[in-house]
Every structure is written in structure tokens, then in C-alpha cells.
Chains A and B, each alone.
Chain A
Amino acid sequence: MPTKRIDLLICCGSGCISAGSLKIKEKFIELLKENNISDEVNIIETGCMGPCDFGPVMMIYPEGIFYKKVTVEDVQEIVVEHFLKGRPVKRLMEQDKEVPVTVKDDIPFYQKQVKVALKNCGYLDPESLDEYIALGGYEALGNAMTNMTQEEVVNVIKKSGLRGRGGAGFPTGMKWDFVRKAEGSPKYIVCNADEGDPGAFMDRSLLEGDPHRVIEGMMLAACATGASKGFFYIRAEYPLAIKRIKKAIVDLKANALLGENIFGTDFCFDIEVRTGAGAFVCGEETALIASIEGKRGQPSPKPPYPANSGVWEKPTLVNNVETLANVPTIFQKGAEWFASMGTEKSKGTKVFALTGDIANTGLVEVPMGISLKELIFDVGGGIVGDHKFKAVQLGGPSGGCLTNDHLDVKIDYENLLEKGSMMGSGGVIVMNDTNCMVNIAKFFLDFSVDESCGKCAPCRIGLKQMYAILDKITKGEGKPGDIEELEVLGNSIKQLSLCGLGQTAPNPVLSTIRYFRHEYEAHINEKSCPTRVCLDLINFNIDKDKCIGCSLCARRCPTSCITGSREEKYTINQLECVKCGNCLDVCPVKAVSKEAGMHPDIIQHKEKLAREAEENEL
């Protein structure tokens, strides 16, 4: 029996590790030893607790106290005051209207959240099989194996209404049934952990924070379909996730929960981890399967679907990490319980990774059907600083943006699709009013151009052409008709591409045109970037009435394009200006302004160049 009296749970999700949680852990070990209480405190590294913006965070039980933004220097105070004298350190707690919040569940960030997939994430030691079992782990699996038929297991998932959490939202129960009925042996299960959207870290956090949950989900799927081997396809950029899944597999084998005749039945199952090299397209199931087989990661036409012909042309079930993570809880609490949450067609909860200009960046899980407003403003704490909300990008480079007008939209698969966005895997990038939407579209398209595998022409050539047009627009070389050209290209690429990458890659451009057409028009017709982001479409100016002639700007200008004197005041030579903004930063009297629009001098210059080029050609 342990004589421990305190459980110290330090969040060691990737966000908190970068913020220094491992150093804090070392300091705790050192100071506990110094104070002679090492044997009274359990130090546990957990997975992501969610509020990454507060990191490094920690929970202390039995009181259940939550500390945020802890530094190495704070450790001394926590050990002496809290651990030795029993006085929790109030200044490290989350403050709600200047009153410290002691209990984690009272923190506004957690109040609208419902944790299913993330239930244990940040609560248990992800490297401990015993802790997972203590929380009811592997019981659902044992029950399903000993007391249920394959069909019954599939029916539980069908009844729950669970849909694929990777983005497309295909009904999971149906997929399981296809594989169950498919002929061929052996059958395989693949867990798709090739999470590649910029700003998404849901799957990573689940694998790092509660690996056994995903494995149990996979084994239940195996139990339902008769598969005998599972693959975890995890990208190599997630070393901690790989390490923890591998550790979990070793522990399970040592306890006879993996291998031959599990739970004394005929069921045999083995799991192997495959690391991906980080190609975005390998998140597409056919490309992923090719990669597992050791081939180049390129998609192939469907049908045949993986359910009939997947890994080595055998029946294969491909499920996303979060989909599998929901499965054990559905069996524990029942399909009806799961189906009671959400909307008519989208049941249960969804994990989102909140990033961008939002106050509470982090990992959250909310019921389906919650409005965008609740997600961004209640859970996410709204926009950081004095700026206004402008748009939100759901679904990363495959999704689309939504605006102020859509804040009341209830989040489910159909609603988002109808509005030109998509659920996607759960990346939520929130943007404030300083973001240029043309530039954002260009950013996402750049990503897709880079990640296109090149197998089919619409995606390989088409995206490149779209990118070239966008690039011209942001450089002030756009011409009337460009927007229509982008729309035609985008729609054809969507229809003609072989796989999901190309079929969705134009979405960021099409949705920003749909909702921010005026910004595109300003770029093209007025040669002006309204949010003053695109460097070629803004200009810096010195107000001679305000200028005191101090010459500070001229001295700081990297291209020496500011000239003048105390008497004449200073001016910027627009043709030489590189728009670095130094003059704006250093001016003591705020005489420098940053304005939208291309400067007349540059327009004249460009026209002159064009004329000369024409004459040369003649």
C-alpha cells in the first residue's frame, strides 16, 4: 500500500513541454528530496489537459487544485506552502474576476465541454496500463469478446450514430459492417494517425495522453470485424505519441491482453506501429495503405474500397484516432447515451484544437450541435486583445472559412458543409480583423500545392495555376476576370481530382471568395489591401506637418530611401521602400503612417515599365 498523500499531475502534452514542464518536473523532484517528502508525493506526467495557453499547467490531488503558467521559480513556493503547510498558492490559480478558482471544473474554459474521447487525457498516467484499467479500461473489450457476437458489436456502433472523426464523417458502424462481411483473410485494421493539417493537434494529444483508449477502440473494431492485425500509422514528427503507443503495446503483451487467445477466447490480435514520413497526402486512406505496404504514398482510385481490398489487397478497416477513442466509452455507457448528445445526424462530441487569435488556445471537446459562437467565445474566451473577430477556418487546408454571419451555425457535418466549410479533423483557426483573407487563402493553397503528390493533373497543375493567380493578386498584378478564373479552376479541380486532397484543396480560396469577395476586388481593382497585410499593396508616408526632422527614420531605414533635413522634413522614396516598417516604429511623434493601397509613384513606375517593354517588343 502506498503512503502517498499527494498526486501531482504535471501536464506533459507537447504544448506544456515546450513551455518548460519537464524542467519544472525536475525541479519538483529536487525540492521534494531537499524537503524530505519525496515519498509522500506521486509525480505523474499526463497528456494534454487542454488549456495550452495557460501552460505549463498542473493539477494537484486530493484537493483537485489547478495551477497555470507555473515557472521553475514557483516550484519552491508550491512545495513549501502547499505541500508542507497545506496552503494552496492562490496567485497561480485561474482568476475569475479577481477571485481565484480552486476547482478545475469551475474554470470557464471547461464549463461547456463534455469529455468523451478526452475523458482521461490529463487525468491519468498515459504510460500506466494499471491506471487505465483502474478507470474501467479493457472491460468493454473483455465483455464484447466473451459475451457478444460480431454482429452485436457492430450494431452497438451503428446505433450510437458515431461517424468518422477524420473529416468526411462516414458512418463508422457501416464501415465496420462492410469489413465484417468482406471476404478474405487475414483482415486488417489501420488507425490513421497521420494528422497533417496546420494547427491541428487532436490526434497527437489523444495518442500522447491516453494511448490505451485508442488501442482498446482498435481491438473492439477487430473483435467486430474478425481482423487479426492492426497498424498504427503515425507520422514521425510525433515521437512521443509513437513512444507511448509502443510502450502500451509492450505492456499489453506482458499482461496477455494482446497476442494469442486474448481473454481465453479464440481471438488473436497483434499491433504494429508504422511511422509516416510526413506527407500530407498519406492521411488519405488509399495513399496511407500504399505507404504501409512500403510503396510510394500515392492515392489510387476508389473503388475498390479498402473494406474489400486494402492492405495487401485484403479487407481493411481504416479509422481515425478520435473515432477509435470514442469506441470504448460507447460500449461502457451504451449506444443510447452517446446518441443522446448532438444533432439529428451528428451524434456525440467532437474534439477541436483551438488556435489563432483566440484567448484560450488549446484542446477542447464539445457536444455536436454547439454553436460556433459558444465554441469561440465561451470555451475559447473570444479574441485576444482589442481586435474584432473576422473569420474562422475549420478543417485546415481542406476546409473553408466562416464569418461573423455564421456564429449561430450549429456545428455538425451537414451544416458546415452547406456553408462552404467542413468539419474536417478539428483544427479551428480563429482570425481577427488584421488578417487579409486573400493572403490566408494563398497560405493554405501554398500548403496544398506543396503537398500535392503529383499523380493526377487537376491537382498538380490546377492548384499551381490557382496559386500563381493569387500570387499576382497579392502583388498588385491582378486583373479583372481573375476571380472568375479562380472559381472555374477551383470547381473543376474539386470535381476532377483523384483523392480527397485535390477534391478539397480549392475550398479555402472558394470560401474566401464567397464571403470576402470585396477584399479580392480591392486587391485587383483598387490595388489596395484593406487590412494592410500584402506588402505590395500598402505604402508608408511621412506627414510633413507632424515631422520634426529628427532624422531617426532615415538612420534606421535599411535601404536609405528616406531623405530630408531638419528644415525640409523627411520623405520616403517609394520606389526604394521595402515596407519594413522601421520608420513607423521609431518615429517619436507618430508622423509615419501605414496606408492601404499602392502608392501613385509605384503605379506610374509600373506603367512606364510596361510601356517600355511593349516598345522593345515592337
Chain B
Amino acid sequence: MKTLADLKKIREKAQADMKLRNSNVRVKVIVGMGTSGIAMGARDVMKTFLDEIAAKGLNDVLVTQTGEKGFSSMEPVVDVVEDGKKRVTYGNMNVEKAKKVVAEHLINGNPVAEYVIATEE
């Protein structure tokens, strides 16, 4: 390291590694991980989200999890929460659908209407 600019580079990279501890995230992806969700493949869905988000370098998106939400017949269920926007709930998710949500919703900002099962303020 020789200059302040070099320091800044290291900082940006290190900040990405610490993003889980940062509360300033743009979008939260919440995967329902109740017993039925896991039985229907919620873990694979979650891993896909994690991998895709990492691969696309989306530093401001956070993947977290929650318990049973009461949509057992539509598991796995995934919520996408963004400040100032309606909460979007996707149902019957799988690996392919997860990839599409990352590409269209998280990157381009357009919810994938065909998978949506509920929205709320």
C-alpha cells in the first residue's frame, strides 16, 4: 500500500466481506425455512440466492431467513423487502425461479409477477 487511494480499495473490498453486519442494505431476501419449507427445498433456494447474489456482486442485498409463515401449500416461500416499496412474497420457489428473481427483481427492479402470491405495504 502506498497511498490513500490504495487504502480505499482495500476498504471497499473489506466492507463487502462485512456486509452482514451492516444495517444499510437496500433489499432483504427472506427465505421461509420452516419444516415444510425445508422439506420442499427451501435450502436449495436459499443457496441459489446466496450464490447468484455473490456472483453478480450485489453488495447491498442481504439474504436472511424466517420460520413458518403459514403458506404451507406454496412452500418454499420467499419475501423480498425493499425500503419504501411493497413487500413482495413469492411462492412455490425453486432453483430456476430463484435465478430469475435475482436477475429481474433484484437487479432490474421488476418483480416477477407470475411467481408472486402476495404483496403488502
Contacts and interface: CB of A to CB of B under 8 A. Distances in A.
A604 interface: no
A255 B10 CA distance: 10
A256 B1 contact: yes
B21 A84 contact: no
A18 interface: no
A139 B7 CA distance: 7
Chain A: interface size category: 35 or more
B50 A134 contact: no
Q: Which 6 A-B pairs have the closest CB atoms?
A: A86-B65, A134-B14, A1-B54, A130-B14, A87-B67, A7-B20
B7 A5 contact: no
Contacts of B119: none
29 contacts: A1-B55, A3-B47, A3-B50, A3-B51, A5-B63, A5-B65, A42-B20, A62-B20, A62-B62, A64-B23, A84-B38, A85-B33, A85-B38, A85-B67, A86-B34, A86-B64, A87-B66, A87-B67, A123-B21, A131-B17, A131-B18, A133-B7, A133-B11, A133-B14, A134-B11, A134-B14, A134-B18, A146-B4, A255-B1
B31 A130 contact: no
A42 B57 CA distance: 18
A327 to B, nearest CB: 18
B81 interface: no
A2 interface: yes
B35 interface: yes
A285 to B, nearest CB: 33
B47 to A, nearest CB: 8
A134 B15 CA distance: 5
A263 B2 contact: yes
A5 B67 CA distance: 16
A483 B57 CA distance: 74
Interface string B66-84: 1100000000000000000
Nearest to B32: A86
Contacts, number: 93
Q: Which has the most chain A C-beta neighbours within 10 Å: B4, B38, B63, B67?
A: B4
Contact of B11 (A9, A136, A257): A136
B4 A3 contact: no
B85 interface: no
A143 B64 contact: no
Interface string B25-59: 10000011111001000000011001100110100
A32 to B, nearest CB: 14
Contacts of B2: 256, 263-264
Nearest to B55: A1
Interface residues of B, number: 36
Interface string A231-255: 0000000000000000000000001
B16 interface: yes
A568 B33 CA distance: 74
Most A Cβ at <10 Å: residue of B20, B23, B34, B54: B20
Given A40-B50, A42-B20, A264 B10 contact: no
A312 interface: no
A432 to B, nearest CB: 38
Nearest to A60: B20
A53 B15 CA distance: 32
Contact of B4 (A63, A84, A123, A142): A142
B120 to A, nearest CB: 19
Nearest to A255: B1
A87 B1 CA distance: 43
Interface of A: 1-7, 9, 40, 42, 61-64, 84-87, 123-124, 130-131, 133-136, 138-139, 142-143, 146, 255-257, 263-264
A7 B31 contact: no
B7 A86 contact: no
B54 A2 contact: yes
Contact of A6 (B10, B20, B38): B20
Contacts of A1: 16, 54-55, 57
A87 B64 CA distance: 11
Nearest to A41: B20
Nearest to A81: B67
B80 to A, nearest CB: 15
Nearest to A6: B20
A87 B35 CA distance: 11
A255 B3 CA distance: 11
Interface centre among B7, B34, B54, B55 (most CB of A within 10 A): B7
Given A134-B18, A264-B2, 11 more contacts: A4-B50, A5-B64, A62-B25, A62-B62, A124-B18, A131-B17, A133-B7, A134-B15, A142-B4, A255-B10, A263-B1
A61 B67 contact: no
Contacts of A3: 47, 50-51, 54
Nearest to A86: B65
Q: Which of B13, B15, B18 has the most CB of A within 10 A?
A: B18
B32 to A, nearest CB: 8
A262 B81 CA distance: 45
A7 B64 contact: no
Contacts of B1: 255-257, 263
Contacts of B25: 62
B57 A143 contact: no
Nearest to A138: B7
Contacts of A255: 1, 10
